[in-house]
Structure 1
Amino acid sequence: MVRVIQWATGSMGRTALRRIIDAPDLELAGVYVYSDKKAGMDAGQLCKRLDTGVLATNNIEEILALDADLVIHTPRITLPYEQMNADVIRLLESGKNVISTAGFHYPLAHDEAYWAPLKAACEKGNSTLAGLGVNPGGFIERVVLAATGFSSKLDSITVSETVDASEMVSKEFVFGLMGFGADPAVNDITKGPLAAMYTSLFSEILHFVGKALNVDLIEITPEHALTLAPHDMEIGAGTIKQGTVAATEWRWTAHYSQDVSFTLSIIWTSDPKLHGKDTNGHWVVDIKGRPNMTMTFSIDEGDPTKPQSRALTDATVSGALRGVHDVVAAPAGFFAFYPSGAWQGR
Structure 2
Amino acid sequence: MGRTCLQAVIDSPRHELVGLFVYGERKAGKDAGEIARRDPVGITATRDVEAILALDADVVIHAARLDPPADRHDADIERLLRSGKNVISINGGTYPAHWAPERRARLQAAAEAGGTSFMGAGLNPGFAAEKLAVLATGVCRDVRKVSLSETVDCRPVKNPDYVFDVIGFGAPVDRIDPNSPDWVPARTMNALFEEVVACVADRLGWQEIEVVTDHSLTATPVPLEIAAGRIEPGGAARIDWRWIARTGATDRVELHIAWTMETPEPDAPEPGLWSIRVEGEPCVSIAFGVETPAGWQERVSAEMLGVAGAVLNAMPHVIAAPPGVVETPEFAPWRAG
Is TM-score (shorter-chain normalized) higher than 0.5? yes
Is 1:250 aligned to residue 238 of structure 2? no
Q: Distance in 2 between matches of 1:308 and 1:158?
A: 32
Corresponding position of 1:241: 232
1:19 match: 8
Aligned in 2, Cα 1:110/1:297: closer, same or farther, shift over 3 Å? same
Tell me how far 1:326 sits from its aligned partner.
1.7
Show the 5 A alignment for 1:138-153.
Answer: 138-153=127-142
Output the CA distance in 1 between the equivalents of 2:245 and 2:176. 27
How far apart, in 2, do the equivalents of 1:247 and 1:308 lie? 25
Q: Which residue is 1:264 aligned to?
A: 255
Between 61-70 and 194-203, the greater mean CA deviation after superposition = 194-203
The C-alpha deviation readout for 1:173-228, integer Å capped at 9, x for no partner, is: 11221111112344444421221221111111122112211221421221111111
Contact residue 174 and residue 234 of structure 2 kept, 8 A: no
Q: Which moved more, 1:175-184 or 1:119-128?
A: 175-184
Aligned to 1:211: 202
Amino acid at match of 2:23: Y
Q: Distance in 2 between matches of 1:241 and 1:309?
A: 30
SS of the residue 1:123 aligns to: helix
How many correspondences in the alignment?
A: 329
Write the letter of the residue equivalent to 2:285.
T
Distance 1:312 1:298 in 2: 9
CA distance in 2: counterparts of 1:140 and 1:252, whole angstroms: 12
One of 161, 168, 192 as aligned partner of 2:157? 168
1:50 corresponds to: 39
TM-score by length of 2: 0.91
Where 2:19 maps in the other structure, the secondary structure is strand
The verdict on how the C-alpha distance between 1:340 and 1:67 changes in structure 2, with shifts beyond 3 A counting, is closer
- The answer to whether 1:277 aligns with 2:267 is yes
Q: TM-score, normalising length from structure 1? A: 0.89
Higher strand share: 1
The answer to whether 1:296 aligns with 2:270 is no
CA RMSD, 1 decimal:
2.3
Offset, 1:69: 0.7
Name the aligned partner's letter for residue 53 of structure 2.
L
C-alpha separation in 2, matches of 1:68 and 1:305: 31
Alpha-carbon distance in structure 2 between the residues aligned to 1:135 and 1:66: 30
* Mapping 1:28-47, distance limit 5 Å: 28-47=17-36
**Structure 1, 113-122 or 230-239: larger mean CA deviation:** 230-239
Q: Percent identity?
A: 35
2:218 paired with 1:227? yes
Q: 1:264 to 1:306 in 2, by over 3 A?
A: farther
Greater Cα shift, 332-341 or 195-204 = 332-341
Equivalent position amino acid for 1:205 in 2: V
Contact 2:242 2:254 in 1 (8 A): yes
Residues of 2 paired with 1:245 and 1:223: CA distance? 16
User: Is the CA contact 2:244–2:251 (under 8 Å) kept in the aligned structure 1?
Assistant: no
Unpaired runs of 5+ in structure 1?
1-11, 342-346
Distance 2:92 2:198 in 1: 14
CA change 1:74–1:317 in 2 (3 A) is same
**Residue of structure 2 in register with 1:73 after alignment:** 62
Tell me how far apart the structure 1 counterparts of residues 78 and 194 of structure 2 sit (CA, whole Å): 21
**Alignment partner, residue 5 of structure 1:** none
For 1:157 and 1:103, the matched residues in 2 are separated by: 20
